[in-house]
Amino acid sequence: MAEGLVDGRAPRTALADGFDRPAPTFEQMSAVADAVLYEGYLLYPYRRSSPKNRARWQFGVLFPRDWVEADDPVNPGVSGSADSWYQQTECLLRVRRPDATVRLRVRYLQLQHKQVEDAERRPVESLTCDDGTVQLTFEEAVPREADLLVPLAEGVRTVRVGAPAGTGGEPLPSGGGRVVRRREEVRASTTLEAERLGADLFRIRVRTANEGRTADPRAPRDQALRQALIATHTLLGAEGAEFVSLIDPGPALQEAARNCHNDFTFPVLGGPPPAVAPEDGSVSALMLSSPIILPDHPQVAPESPGDLHDAGEIDEILTLRTMLLTDEEKREARATDARAAEILDRVDTMPPEVFGRLHGAIRSLGPADRPAPAGRPAWWQEGADDGLSPATDTVLVDGVRVGGGARVRLRPRGRGADAQDMFLVGRTATVAAVFHDVDGSTHLAVTVDDDPAAELHGWYGRFHYFRPDEVEPLGGTDVPDPATAAEPSPGPSPSEA
């Protein structure tokens, strides 16, 4: 049954995994889900005048179809930064009980225009109130979410996930003006479909689509955003069943996982990771399908005291930079948006012990007496790098010596591989260098052959890194071992030329 649309809240239901054990609830994914919802909402220095805050809403944006396809149809892919009118998640569900059900929650932001008006009700860009506070006209957003519960036996269910239009006014102190907030209607629906693949295996398909139409398909993007779903993502929970990782599905389900098609989003397992990795693939009662590519079991660092709306940055750096804003810059940031004001309050009152935790944390420790690789001093000792040359070093892969200039086919291992590396499975690449890590491991730095920016990446050193057992040498890639290669000939002398 559809359980309705709410502003940031929805009915909460505990889940049970495939063995009827208590499983994580959606609340245990709330920190990560909120980070996805507000990623890029407002970037440092959190001021309206900052150029970075003039091009917002970059992930999971679903526009009306007539606007986004005014010139050409959308090009499906997993990239959630590409504009679209729909978002599709496909994942695998292993059923443990005949009465298994799937619960989903669709979340997004609805654009809300904050307009400041003076005492004569005339729109203005900014207004200073009698108490000295400043009000700025700005684009805000309202969180929306809708729930749907579907027994697998029903197969297909659709729920409306749009949001109504609305207008609200707020008088400013001493009758100096007012703030008016306006929202346009967002029309959208989400369909959940369960397709049986085997006796206890289903493919779950979730498709969220913007069903609105614009008055002008050639309108500017800022105008079309008023009818869009922003930062759209989906939470999935199973009762009497468990979701299978598409990153680590296990040998038996690799083909089924490859046949799952995800457009403008990618699903990963939610909740805490298992203490011991399972032998037949990773599973969980929770899944998060996000327009930002994440690993299985994503977590927000416990040391982080709050959202800074830029998960690509380091909390410590952003906190230090925010502390150094001038009083005038902070005044503008506070006037820009309430969430910016919350960040400033948190930074300005942060206790030293909380700030100290932002410097770093040790998640795991290895034995202190680990021996150095044979023939080399330990990495902290003088001379540890002597004789290493990433551009000319080689490593033996399947009996073939591979080094700079060699071509390989990428075969990232399923278990423990980076989620983004999995999208490069089967692609060919060119090795740029061989790097030796401080723990004695070796990695190949490569550029992907069909990447249009491969030459540029090679020029400034932005590589993909793979272990030797994650690549397959291609024919004719054997390069000489510099340790045994003969000195090159100096060439003919002038008298011989």
CB burial string 464-479: b at 16+ within 10 A, e below: bebebebbebeeebeb
Structure-block tokens of residue 219? 């309108």
Count helices and strands (H / E) in the chain: 9, 26
Instruction: Tell me the pairing of strands 156-160 and 188-196.
Output: antiparallel
Query: Hey, what's the torsion of the CAs at 395, 399, 402, 407, to 10 degrees?
Result: -150
What CA–CA distance (Å, rounded) separates 263 from 85? Answer: 11
What CA–CA distance (Å, rounded) separates 420 from 424? Answer: 8
Structure-block tokens of residue 362? 């040790």
CA dist 349 → 155, 331, 354 (Å): 52, 16, 10
Whether 335 and 49 have beta carbons less than 8 Å apart is answered as: no
Q: What angle do CA 98, 104, 107 make, to 5 degrees?
A: 175
Residue-level pLDDT at 231: 96
What radius of gyration do the chain's Cα atoms show? 27
CB neighbours of 385 closer than 8 A, spacing ≥ 6?
Answer: none
Structure-block tokens of residue 270? 């939610």
Is 144 exposed, middle or buried (CB count within 10 Å of its CB: 0-12, 13-18, 19+)?
A: buried
- 3-class DSSP state of 421: helix
Residue 406's beta-bridge partner residues? none
Q: Please name the amino acid found at residue 432.
A: A
What CA–CA distance (Å, rounded) separates 387 from 283? Answer: 45
What CA–CA distance (Å, rounded) separates 415 from 151? Answer: 31
Residue-level pLDDT at 386: 75
The verdict on pTM exceeding 0.85 is: no
Size of the chain in residues = 497
Q: Which helix (H) or strand (E) holds 345?
A: helix 338-348
Whether 245 and 256 have beta carbons less than 8 Å apart is answered as: no
Q: How many Å from the N-terminal Cα to the C-terminal Cα in the chain?
A: 87
Structure-block tokens of residue 163? 């949001």
Structure-block tokens of residue 389? 């040359």
Residue-level pLDDT at 470: 92
CB neighbours of 3 closer than 8 A, spacing ≥ 6?
Answer: 10, 11, 146, 147, 148, 149
Q: What is the DSSP letter of 94?
A: E
Taken in order 419, 299, 146, 98, the sign of the CA dihedral is positive
Whether 86 and 263 have beta carbons less than 8 Å apart is answered as: yes
CA dist 249 → 24, 152, 244, 253 (Å): 20, 21, 6, 6
Residue 118's beta-bridge partner residues? 177
Structure-block tokens of residue 278? 């399972």
Residue stretches of the chain with pLDDT short of 70: 1-24, 312, 366-380, 414-417, 419, 476-497
CA dist 29 → 100, 229, 330 (Å): 21, 21, 32
Residue 338 has a CB neighbour count (10 Å cut-off) of: 9
Residue-level pLDDT at 373: 56
